[in-house]
Amino acid sequence: MKGQVSALQQTTDASNVANFAVQKDLRGVVVRDEHVATPSACEALDNGQAIAVAAGQSWIVSNSISRVSDPRGEAAPNMPAYVGQANAQAANTAIHLGRYCGEGEAQDGMCTLGSRPNWDQRASTMLGALAYGDTPEDLTAANDYVTNLIQPVPPRALRTDEVRSLAGQDKQAWRRRYNAMISLARTAMNDIVAARTNTVTLTPAQREQQRAQGMTQTAKGSWMLAAELEVNRYVSGRAWARDLQRMPPAARQIEQIKLDAFRAYIDWQQFKASQTQTALLSAILADRAEAPFGRPQQALLGLATMPVPTTR
């Protein structure tokens, strides 16, 4: 009896030890499977990095455009309006006829019909695509549309003796205010153009999402395109939906955290956009508050005439 009891104890102990080893290995496998990065997690990280890079590059593009558009609006030296408003008008007309000749103008013999007729007047030139084409002409057309929308012909510059007079200094003060408002409006539009400028190399997952959506696969893309592809991947991506069905609970929690982070990123971008909107509304309010007095309008009316600079 003692031998049987001892043998049973040994058998039970051995069974417990073996079962413990099996349960330990099983637990290790479960922990491993729940915490190993899934392909979707790796794709989301790559796509998020592409979006962040594109956002930074679009900011650079917007500032680069402003460095050109602001001096033009201020009638700075070497700009058409520095010589006179008539010269600024002629420059605007020459750009339109040279790049965006319309059918009516071509029939009248003013120019030769081009491949982008009247693109400098159509909102679709700026907003009609998530990313402009690889050719610089598409980006140029978007900028030219903004120019016609915001300030097709800048007022002329005040020159020499004219700006030294008291009346000229009064005009110059209101001209600086005008320049500030135009710069604000133009910067808001520059941000829209820059967001659609190709500034980043798309990831393989993003190009695959392009194919799934029936879009032409491209090597490069804009911040707007990269962000939309990522949103659509979560909304309609079959690969992500398939992986989601197979994910263990911990992996699904990680996916939820990533979605929360992406929503926080979108909220942050909306906050930055709201600052621009607030600035625009403030400028409109200030303009309306001063309009009844007529000073800004009266002071700037004289800028419609040609200057007569003194030769020294």
What are the 10-residue block averages of pLDDT along the chain, 312 residues in total? 76 73 69 66 86 93 95 94 90 95 94 94 95 89 96 88 82 89 95 95 93 92 94 86 81 85 92 93 87 69 57 46
**Whole-number pLDDT of residue 6:** 76
**Whole-number pLDDT of residue 171:** 85
**Whole-number pLDDT of residue 306:** 54
**Whole-number pLDDT of residue 312:** 46
**Whole-number pLDDT of residue 298:** 67
**Whole-number pLDDT of residue 308:** 47
**Whole-number pLDDT of residue 94:** 96
**Whole-number pLDDT of residue 30:** 63
pTM of the model: 0.81
* DSSP collapsed to 3 states, the chain: CHHHHHHHHHHHHHHHHHHHHHHHHHHHHHHHHHHCCCHHHHHHHHHHHHHHHHHHHHHHHHHHHHHHHHHHHCCCCCCHHHHCHHHHHHHHHHHHHHHCCCHHHHHCCCCCCCCCCCHHHCCHHHHCCCCCCCCHHHHHHHHHHHHHHHCCCCCCCCCHHHHHCHHHHHHHHHHHHHHHHHHHHHHHHHHHHHHCCCCEECCHHHHHHHHHCCCCCCCEECHHHHHHHHHHHHHHCHHHHHHHHHCCHHHHHHHHHHHHHHHHHHHHHHHHHHHHHHHHHHHHHHHHHHHHHCHHHHHHHHHHCCCCCCCC
